Amino acid sequence: MKKIDIIQNQYFNLEKVKDLYSIQTWDPKKIASFHDTIGNKETPLVRLPGLAKHLGVGNILLKDESRRFGLNAFKALGASYAMHRQIKKNPQIKIFCTATDGNHGRAVAWVARKLKRKAVIYMPKWTVTARIRAIEKEGAEVHVIDQSYDIAVEMASERVNEGNKDGDCLWSLIQDTAWDGFEEIPLDIMKGYWTEMYEVTHQLRKETVDVLFLQSGVGSWAASILGYIATQWNHPPVCISVEPHSANCLYESIKTGNRVIVENNKTTIMAGLNCASVSTLAWDILKNGLSGSMSITDELSEEAMRLLAYPVSGDPSITSGESGASGLGGLIGLSKTTKYKDLKDKFNLNKNSTILIINTEGDTDPTNYKKIINNI
C-alpha cells in the first residue's frame, strides 16, 4: 500500500468560498467572546524549528488543541456554541444527543453537565474503552452499537425524533455533520470552531502561512477553517486535506467533483476521521476551498506522533493523538517522497515554506498512545 495518495483539486475557486460565507453574519470576535464566558483559555501556537529542518521546510507552526478546556481536544468550541444557542431558542430542552467516535461526544457531555442537562451518546463498534469512559465520567448515557459511525449518527437522529414525537421538543440533536433538513446546528458548530483561527490570527501577528494541512472526517471543522481564512485573511495559504486511506470520502469526492460515500468498515487508528461521507454543509466549501486532498496510512500518523513526543533538535515535546497528528502525517508523507515533486512545487511546499499544523487532540486513548510513541 502506498503511504500517501494526493491529488490537486481541479475545482479550486476561493472566491466561491467567500461567496458561500457572504450570506453569513459571523463575527469571530463575538464568537471568541462567548467562549471566554465559559472559561476558554487561548491554546498555544508552538514553533518547531528542529522538525522544520528535519522535514526540509522553512518553519512549522503547531496550534496545540490538546489544551482546550482540559478536554484533550478542540471539539467543545463547536458543541458549546451550538448547545447554548439551542437553549436560548428553547429553554425546555432536557436532553442532548449525538453520535461520536469520542471527542465530539465528550464535548457534548461536558457542556450538557454544565447546563444541568442530560446527554445521550451513540458510539460505533470499534470505539476504545478509554474514550467511552471519558464520556461516561461526564455523566452521559452511552450506547456502543455494533455498527459504523455513520449508522450511529442515524440512530442518534432516530432517538431524538422518537423523543420529540409528541411535540414537546425536549430532545436536541447536536451533530457536526449535516444533511438535507438538518443544517442549522451543524452550522452553529462550525461557527464555534472559528475561535481557534481567531486565536491563530492574533498569535501570528503579521507572519504569513504558506501551507495548511487540515485533517478531515465529515469535513465540518476543515470547512470552518477554510471559511475563516478565505474571509478573514488577506493572504490565504494553500490548504490540503488529510484523511486515512480506509475512510477517504473527501479525497474520493474531490477526485470526482461530487460527494462520494465510501465503505468505512475497516478500522483505522485515526478514529475521529473514520467517516464514510462528507457533510452536505461542508462539501461546497471544501470542493472550492482546498488546493489539494490526500489520504495516508496509519503508519504516517504514528510517525508524526513519535516525532512530536520525542522531538528533534530541542523542539518542545507535544502530546498528539492518532487523529490529531494526521495533518503532520500528511506533511511527513509528502516530504519523504520525490514522486509528487510537481505537486509540491504547485503547493509552494519547499525549504522556505511556513507550514501550519493543527494538533486537534491529545492522548485520548492513553494506552495506545504509549504503545505507538514507544514503538511497542
Q: Return the SS3 of 270.
A: coil
Give the pLDDT confidence of 355-369 residue by residue, as tens digits.
999 999 999 999 999
| Lowest-confidence pick of 18-22, 73-77, 113-117 | 18-22
Give the closest residue to 149 by CA, choosing from 172, 121, 129: 121
- pLDDT tens digit sequence for 162-200: 999 988 899 999 999 999 999 999 999 999 999 999 999
Angle formed by the axes of helices 76-89 and 28-37, to 10°?
90
Q: Which residue, 60, 2, 47, 63, is CA-closest to 331?
A: 60
Report the pLDDT value the prediction gives residue 2, as an integer from 0 to 100. 67
Residue 77: predicted pLDDT: 98
| 337 burial level (CB within 10 Å; 0-12, 13-18, 19+) | middle
Contact (Cβ atoms closer than 8 angstroms) between residue 236 and residue 230: yes
φ, ψ dihedrals at 123, nearest 5° = -135, 145
Neighbours of 339 (CB within 10 A): 12
**Strand partners for 355:** 60, 211
Task: State the pLDDT at residue 10.
Answer: 97
pLDDT for 22 equals 74
313 has pLDDT over 90:
no
Note the pLDDT of residue 249.
97
At 23 the pLDDT is 64
> What pLDDT is attached to residue 301?
98
Q: What is the pLDDT of residues 3-28, one digit of tens each?
A: 999 999 999 999 999 988 876 778 99
Give me the active site residues, please. Answer: 75, 101
Q: List, in order, residues 6 or more apart from 77 with CB less than 8 Å away.
A: 35, 40, 68, 192, 193, 195, 196
Other beta carbons within 10 Å of 234: 6
- Residue ranges of domains in the chain, CATH in brackets: 4-73+190-373 (3.40.50.1100), 76-175 (3.40.50.1100)
Q: Which helix (H) or strand (E) holds 88?
A: helix 76-89
pLDDT digits (tens, 9 = 90+) for 207-261: 999 999 999 999 999 999 999 999 999 999 999 999 999 999 999 999 999 999 9
